[in-house]
Chain A
Amino acid sequence: MNLDAQILLVLRNLGGSAISAADLASQLGVGRSTIAAHIADLRRHGFDIPASPHGGYRLVGTPEYLNADDIVSRLGKPRVVGRDIRVFKETTSTNDVIEKLARDGVAEGVVAFAESQTLGRGRLGRRWFSPAGKGLWFSVLLRPKLTPQQTTQITVSASVALARAVETVTGLSPKIKWPNDLLVNGRKVAGILTELAAEQDVVRHVVVGIGIDVNIEPHRFPPELKQTATSLSIEAGHVIDRAELGARILRELDDVYSRIMRREFEAVAEEWETKCSTVGKLVVVTIGDRRVRGRAEALNSEGALLLRTEHGHLESITGGDVIVEK
Chain B
Amino acid sequence: MDLKDIKAIIDLMRKNSICEFELEKEGFKIRLKRGPNGSNAGAQADEQVGANAGIGQFPPSQPVQPMVQPPRPSQPPEIEIKSPMIGTFYRAPSPEAEPYVDVGSEVNPDTVVCIIEAMKVMNEIRAEVHGVVTQVLVENGKPVEFGQPLFKIRPTE
Residue in contact with B90 in the complex, picked from A179, A193, A196, A288, CB distance below 8 Å: A288
Q: Is the CB of A125 within 8 A of B117?
A: no
Nearest B-chain residue to A207, judged by Cβ? B122
Residue in contact with A124 in the complex, picked from B84, B87, B95, B143, CB distance below 8 Å: B95
Residue in contact with B88 in the complex, picked from A148, A151, A287, CB distance below 8 Å: A287
In the bound complex, how far is the Cα of B121 from the Cα of A195, in angstroms? 6
Residue in contact with B87 in the complex, picked from A126, A147, A318, CB distance below 8 Å: A318
Tell me the smallest distance from the CB of B125 to a CB of chain A, in Å.
8
Across-interface contacts of B124 in A (CB, < 8 A): 195-197
A310 at the interface (CB under 8 A from B): no
Residue in contact with B122 in the complex, picked from A147, A194, A201, A289, CB distance below 8 Å: A194
Across-interface contacts of B130 in A (CB, < 8 A): none
A278 at the interface (CB under 8 A from B): no
Tell me how many residues of B have a C-beta within 8 Å of chain A.
28
Q: Is the CB of B84 within 8 A of A318?
A: no
User: Chain B, 132-144, contact with A by CB distance < 8 Å: what is the 0/1 string?
Assistant: 0000000111110
A156 at the interface (CB under 8 A from B): yes
Nearest B-chain residue to A150, judged by Cβ? B85
B4 at the interface (CB under 8 A from A): no
Q: Is the CB of B119 within 8 A of A179?
A: yes
A236 at the interface (CB under 8 A from B): no
In the bound complex, how far is the Cα of B87 from the Cα of A318, in angstroms? 5
Q: Is the CB of B118 within 8 A of A198?
A: no
A91 at the interface (CB under 8 A from B): no
Tell me the smallest distance from the CB of A186 to a CB of chain B, in Å.
20
Q: Is the CB of A152 within 8 A of B121?
A: yes
In the bound complex, how far is the Cα of B81 from the Cα of A232, in angstroms? 44
In the bound complex, how far is the Cα of B77 from the Cα of A264, in angstroms? 43
Given A124-B93, A288-B141, A288-B142, A194:B84 Cβ within 8 A? no
A290 at the interface (CB under 8 A from B): yes
Across-interface contacts of A152 in B (CB, < 8 A): 118-119, 121
B75 at the interface (CB under 8 A from A): no
A277 at the interface (CB under 8 A from B): no
In the bound complex, how far is the Cα of B128 from the Cα of A125, in angstroms? 24
User: Chain B, 88-108, contact with A by CB distance < 8 Å: what is the 0/1 string?
Assistant: 101001111100000000000
Across-interface contacts of A304 in B (CB, < 8 A): 86, 119
Tell me the smallest distance from the CB of B22 to a CB of chain A, in Å.
37
In the bound complex, how far is the Cα of B110 from the Cα of A204, in angstroms? 14
Q: Is the CB of A149 within 8 A of B85?
A: yes
Nearest A-chain residue to B90, judged by Cβ? A124
In the bound complex, how far is the Cα of B115 from the Cα of A154, in angstroms? 18
Q: Is the CB of B123 within 8 A of A148?
A: yes
CB interface residues, A 272-326, toward B, < 8 Å: 287-290, 302-304, 318-320
Nearest B-chain residue to A302, judged by Cβ? B86
Tell me the smallest distance from the CB of B80 to a CB of chain A, in Å.
11
Tell me the smallest distance from the CB of A243 to a CB of chain B, in Å.
26
Across-interface contacts of A156 in B (CB, < 8 A): 119
Given A192-B120, A193-B120, A125:B97 Cβ within 8 A? yes
Across-interface contacts of A147 in B (CB, < 8 A): 84-85
Q: Is the CB of B120 within 8 A of A194?
A: yes
Q: Is the CB of A151 within 8 A of B121?
A: yes
Q: Is the CB of A318 within 8 A of B86?
A: yes
Q: Is the CB of A149 within 8 A of B146?
A: yes
B29 at the interface (CB under 8 A from A): no
Residue in contact with A320 in the complex, picked from B88, B93, B139, CB distance below 8 Å: B88
In the bound complex, how far is the Cα of B96 from the Cα of A289, in angstroms? 12
User: Chain B, 39-57, contact with A by CB distance < 8 Å: what is the 0/1 string?
Assistant: 0000000000000000000
Across-interface contacts of B82 in A (CB, < 8 A): 200
Q: Is the CB of A149 within 8 A of B119?
A: no
Across-interface contacts of B84 in A (CB, < 8 A): 147-149, 198-201
Q: Is the CB of A155 within 8 A of B119?
A: yes
In the bound complex, how far is the Cα of B118 from the Cα of A179, in angstroms? 9
Across-interface contacts of B139 in A (CB, < 8 A): 288
In the bound complex, how far is the Cα of B112 from the Cα of A198, in angstroms? 12
- The 13 sampled A-B contact pairs (Cβ below 8 Å) are A125-B93, A125-B97, A126-B94, A152-B118, A179-B119, A193-B120, A200-B84, A287-B141, A288-B90, A318-B118, A319-B87, A319-B118, A319-B120
Binding site for B on A (CB under 8 A): 123-126, 147-149, 151-152, 154-156, 179-180, 192-201, 206, 287-290, 302-304, 318-320
